[in-house]
Each structure stands twice: as structure tokens, then as C-alpha cells.
Structure 1
Amino acid sequence: METMNSTVPVTFVRNSLAVAASSALFLVACSTDATPTAFPEISSENDLVLPLDAFDLNPLQRSIVDRADFKMADECLRGFGLRMPSSKNTTPVNYPKNADYAGWLEPRHLQKYGYQGPPGMRDEAWAAQDGRRAFTIPADIDAAYTGLAAKVVNKKRVPDGGCANEAEHVLNAGAPSPTGSGPAKPREHKRMLGLMDAAADAAFKDPRWAQADARWSDCMREKGYSYSAPYAAENDRRWQANLDAVTQRHPVTQLEIRTATADEQCRKETRFFGARLAIYTDAQNTVIATNKDKVLRLQVLMKTRYANARKILGLPPAA
């Protein structure tokens, strides 16, 4: 066998919906049959649909909200004689939102980059879930933008929470708090991430998770590789050899590429992607049912932010 079993722990980083596909996935997820044929075949990123997506914005809508947020924060900073960084990227995030939940490897371009994926991929994966890309706040605008460290900047009082909060107030105008306690507060739309995390915790405890790992492991063993689960293959210590301390990237070996290629093939052969999506579908449906009012208020908040963003940018109302 080419590889040894690895048990390195890892924290896996975390669209308009097709109703028919969602319904089919829901029915599959409710099945008690955990054999591969019980799960759908996932053939493209368009199949990576989960229930909470229906209450969230799609990548283009998120991009419009991010642009409006940037614009309002910039207008606030102008009052202090400052500007937002021109490098801020507000284009739509193309990384599939649910790829990591499904263990979908295609965005990594395994043949070229191995498991680590192309440069910047991890940041894009997080942005796909969070709805916006992280950016470095320049030192000269930090106090006025965040509302921290200084209460007065350039002889002008900084609003509570800084210009970041000022932008949030405009985007949230007219929307309820997901908690039902009054108007939406800054960044309360991020409570969607909390619901996704709660579902992820439940999914990991689902017995079908371990069963999917075991089927994958058996397939890999037949191909000459010994790993207990996909995370063990992805985090084999050998892939970390010669890690660059600055970029946190490593040279990709042919062994890693062969392993990753076999890994992806086994995920397809065992319907690993379909199993993971079925597990997450059940978990998210439970979270939605348990938090029905909160989820519905979150949906209103998301739609309101999008409608307000279009006004801020001078765009016509959405059809």
C-alpha cells in the first residue's frame, strides 16, 4: 500500500434553488437505508443544495449587499476625511457554498494543486458561507470604521460601532431582529451561520456519517491506500512537508495527486457526496423546524438588506 493511516485531527473549513431537486434530496435524506444506492448521485456543484439556502441570498444578491455596505461605510468615512480601501473585492463569490459540507473536491483542481487547492481557495470557501470576503482594515481608518480605540477621529465623534455599524443600520432598515426583540441589529444576519453550525454539529453525530466514511475507506483500501476517513487522507502529514511559513502552502507531490485522485474517485463510487448532503439535509430541516420563527425572520432580514442595497446602489427594485 502506498500510504499509512493518518489520524491527524482537522477542522474542516466551512443560487437559486431547484425545487424538484430539493424535494428529491429531502426524500432521500429521510430514508433509513444507508447503503450507497439510498443516496443521490451528485454530478455537479448545481446539485449541492441544502434547505437553509432557501432562506438566504444567492451569490449575486450577496455581492450587491456587500457593494452597498462598502458604499455606505465609505460615505461615513468621508465625513472623517478618510476612504475605504480601493482593493476591497465585492464581486460574487464563485466557490460553491455547500461544497465543504458535501466533501466536494472539484474546486481544488486536484491534478494541479492536490488537496490544498489553488491559492486563496480557503478564503473563498469561507466567503461563500459568510456572504462577503474578509479584508484588511488599514490602520488609518481602523478607529473610525470599527468604533474601537478612539471616540474622536479628526475632531469628529465616531458613532457607536463606527462606520461599519452605520452601514449596517442603513441595510437593516425596516427589518426585524431574528430574535423577535425589535429592529434588526448590526450583523444579526450572521445568525444564519449559527444555524448552519448547529446543523453541522448534528450531522457529524449522525450514524450515516461514519457509515459513509467506512464505505469510502473500503474503496480506498481496494485501490491500495489505507485511511480511516477522508479527513485523514486530506491531512496526511506528508502533505505538510516543506510548508512555507508565510504562504502556508506546500509543494504538491505526485503521491499527493495520486492519493487525492483516488480519493475523489472513491467518493463518487460510494456516493459519498450524496450521503453527506442527505445527512446535512436532515440536520438542517430539523434546525429549521426547531427555529421556525427565527428562520423566517432571518429570511425577511436577508430580503430587506437586499432590497435596501439595491436602493443604495441606485438599482431598480428586484422583479
Structure 2
Amino acid sequence: MNRYPTLRWVAAATALCLVASGCGDEKRPAASSDSLTVASPPAVAAIPQLDLLDGKVFPIEAYKLTPEKFRQLNNAQTILANRCLSRFGFPPSLQQVPPTLPPDTSLSRRYGITDPATAAKYGYHQSAGDGAQASRPPAEPVSKELSLVLYGPPDQTGDANGNTGGTAHKGVEIPAGGCMGESKRKLNAAEYERIDPEQFAGDIELAAGKQADADPRVRGKFAEWSTCMKGKGFDYRDPFQPLDGDTLKTSLAQPTPTAVEIQTAVADVECKQQVNLVGVWFAVESAYEERLIEKNQERLAGIKRAIDAMLKAAAGVTG
């Protein structure tokens, strides 16, 4: 099983294209391997006893545009864009994104199945709403006139204040990038787009996760977990295997889990709890993130300032 697509979150709430990285097909610039590599296993001050990641926050979160931050920014952009549209005689045409699930829910499968109640009911299947992200309500069809005002003409450019001296609608000049472009400028998005087009914190999160998975302390817990599973009648070398092997392949493809899948998932959770796999994994992965944050502190500090500036501007809009 590859757990990293869940680490590399994709914010569906970016439908308004607040940041450039959510709006185009440009290839992500590659970060240097040295900036994303920890030379030796980092020390861990304390290992918490954890069954779940509920309420836990990884160090890199402070430097990320998390789904909740995206929601705040996009909702502020929606308000600003709708205000702009009213200047051109259009009614409010954009809808806000409803609140996302609590942060701990988004972490519920980071280390595989960890909740005993979920395992007993759903096995490895996703429960209703598990890990789901809030989505924007369906948009109404956009007319050519509304699209022009909302996004501006494709070849339109403007000055730093968004003045174009060009295209107008009913005698009112359309700002560069339309109402969406104007709202981005009011939210100070340009600085963030300039310094963090590739969302560098996501690279750190991914690199730290992979190095933590290979760390001897985590691998040792995998071995303990495997021994525990064998004692329950299941032969897996690590927690990734149940979803990768052939044993549960048919069950996982069905709408509901088989009894064997549920038994495996329940044993999986029990063994994780018995050896404190989640606690060790979290502590080690956090330590790798902290080391990479220290290694890239100057760059990350600039990113955080840009994110904080956008969130402050958004708070001034949404109240």
C-alpha cells in the first residue's frame, strides 16, 4: 500500500484557483534531494502512547495550505468576487465551501486502519464520510458575459493594482483577471504564488514520511506488529501488506467487507495498539519533519509569512 497520496493532499476546495499551483498543469519544480534528506536518524525525546492520531498535529502543518486554510481563503475570495460581480450588475454567482471534516479525521488512515470500531464494522473499507473532504455545491451554468467579468479575457494584463485600461462590461472596466484576479490581489495571494508555487511543505511531508517508514525504530515496530499478527493467524510482514496482497483482494473490491477482512482489520488494530506502533510512528515521523524544517527554516519562514498574510486578509473579509 502506498500511503503517500493521502499525505500529498489535493485540496478540492481550490476550485476558485486561489493559488497558481491549483489552477494549471505546470509540472512541480523538483526540490533538491539534499534539502529533503536527513543524514542520520533524528533523536526522539519522548514516545507517546497512541492508539489514534486524533488531535495530533504534525510539525509541518504550520507551513502548509491545509484544506481548512484553503477553505478559509476560498470563502473570502468568494465574498470578494461576488462583491465585484455586483458592480457589473450580476447577482452573487459563487457559493462558499462548507466546513471540512475535523483535522483528526483527515489523519484517520495515515497509518492504515487504527480505530477498533471502524475495523469491526467496515474492515479496511472506507466508512461513510471517512477521510472525505467537503465539496463546493454544484455551480450554475456560466454565461459568456459572466465568464468575461469573472475571469477577464485570456490575453488581458494589468498593472500592480489590476488596472487594464482595456476591456469593459456595460461601461465598467473589467479588472485584470476579472473579479477572480481582483479578489486574489486583495488577499495578497501574489506573494505566496511567487515564493511557494510548488507547495514546498508538501515535499517535506512526503520526504519525512518515507524516511520515517524506513527508520529502524519504525521497522522494529513493524516486526513486533507482524509477530503479533502471526499469533492471531495472519501472516503479514508490515501494516501495508493487508491492502496489497491477494488474500483480501476480492473482499476489498466488493461494496461490503467479508468476515475475513473484518477479522484481519480488527487484529491489525489490536496489534498496533499492543506494540504502540502509532505512537512510535508519529514520534519518529515528527522528528524527521522537525529536522527538515530546521534544514529549510529560512525558506519555510517566508512561506509561513505569506500564508499568514493571506489568512489575515481573509479574516478581514469573512469576519
TM-score by length of 2: 0.65
Task: Spell out, residue by residue over 1:128-180, the C-alpha distance to the aligned partner (whole angstroms, 9 max, x if none).
Answer: xxxxx56588594596699699569997998776655544332226x854xxx
**Which of 54, 57, 67 is 1:49 aligned to?**
57
1:4 matched residue in structure 2: none
1:213–1:63: structure 2 CA closer, same or farther, 3 Å change rule?
same
Structure with larger Rg:
2
**Which of 65, 69, 94 is 2:77 aligned to?**
69
Structure 2 distance, partners of 1:193, 1:107, is 29
1:191 matched residue in structure 2: 200
1:169 matched residue in structure 2: 185
Aligned positions of 1:220-259 closer than 5 A = 220-237=229-246, 239-241=248-250, 250-259=255-264
Q: Choose 184-193 or 269-278, whichever is displaced more.
A: 184-193
Identity of aligned residues (%): 21
Structure 1: state its 5+ residue gaps.
1-7, 15-28, 33-37, 125-132, 178-183
**Which of 288, 298, 314 is 1:309 aligned to?**
314
The Cα shift of 1:281 comes to: 1.2
Task: Spell out, residue by residue over 1:192-237, the C-alpha distance to the aligned partner (whole angstroms, 9 max, x if none).
Answer: 3233223223323323332222111111011111112111113444
Contact 1:239–1:256 (CA<8 Å) still a contact in 2? Answer: yes
1:284 matched residue in structure 2: 289
Structure 2 distance, partners of 1:149, 1:237, is 53
2:224 matched residue in structure 1: 215
- 2:26 maps to 1:13: no
Structure 1 distance, partners of 2:270, 2:129, is 25
Contact 1:196–1:284 (CA<8 Å) still a contact in 2? Answer: yes
The Cα shift of 1:123 comes to: 3.5
Q: Which amino acid aligns with 2:302?
A: R
1:54–1:85: structure 2 CA closer, same or farther, 3 Å change rule?
closer
Structure 1 distance, partners of 2:176, 2:249, is 44
2:19 matched residue in structure 1: none
The Cα shift of 1:291 comes to: 0.7
- 2:195 maps to 1:202: no
Aligned positions of 1:95-134 closer than 5 A = 95-96=103-104, 97-103=106-112, 105-106=114-115, 109-124=118-133, 133=134
Structure 1 distance, partners of 2:265, 2:239, is 10
Contact 1:215–1:270 (CA<8 Å) still a contact in 2? Answer: yes
Structure 2 distance, partners of 1:285, 1:145, is 45
Structure 2: state its 5+ residue gaps.
8-41, 157-166
Please, what is the CA RMSD of the aligned residues?
Answer: 4.2
Q: How many residues align?
A: 269
